[in-house]
Amino acid sequence: MAVSINRDMDQGSDFTFSYVVRGSDGLPRDISSGYTAYSQMRRFYSSTTGFDLTASITGTTGNVTVSLSAAQTKNIKSGVWFYDVELHSNGSSNIQRMVQGMITVYPEVTKIP
């Protein structure tokens, strides 16, 4: 079962967070080989369009980093969005949702040309 964690995003700023994938024993899982992480955010669960978040596996400690650049977040409307992070086992149909929740996007006020 996925862990639910809500996040805040500042429109027009770099956005990043990390999550550690753990096994049933509570220890970090080595997912550095044979796995790919994916993440998306959508305005509503039923939305057909959304944003792909960059999800990368770093090291052997089960760490998945999710990010967007300032140029990318600038184009996201303020408000509440839904997201999740999935771990796909390469070469099989095994897909696990690791983390899910809401991202509140706060509007950018300062506009620098």
Among candidate residues 14, 99, 84, the one with its CA nearest the CA of residue 52: 84
Q: Which residues contact 73 (CB under 8 A, 6 or more apart)?
A: 9, 10, 11, 12, 13, 14, 15, 105
State pLDDT tens for residues 45-61. 999 999 999 999 987 89
Distances (CA, A) of 72 to 9, 56, 77, 98, 110: 11, 17, 11, 24, 16
Among candidate residues 53, 37, 51, the one with its CA nearest the CA of residue 96: 37
Contact 49, 42 (CB under 8 A): yes
- Which pTM was predicted? 0.89
Among candidate residues 86, 78, 94, 92, the one with its CA nearest the CA of residue 13: 78
Grade residue 111 by pLDDT with cuts at 50, 70 and 90. confident
Whether pLDDT at 113 is above 90: no
State pLDDT tens for residues 66-108. 999 999 999 999 999 999 999 999 878 889 999 999 999 999 9
State pLDDT tens for residues 3-21. 999 999 999 999 999 999 9
Structural domains in the chain plus CATH codes: 3-106 (2.60.40.10)
- Report the C-alpha gap between 31 and 19 in whole angstroms: 12
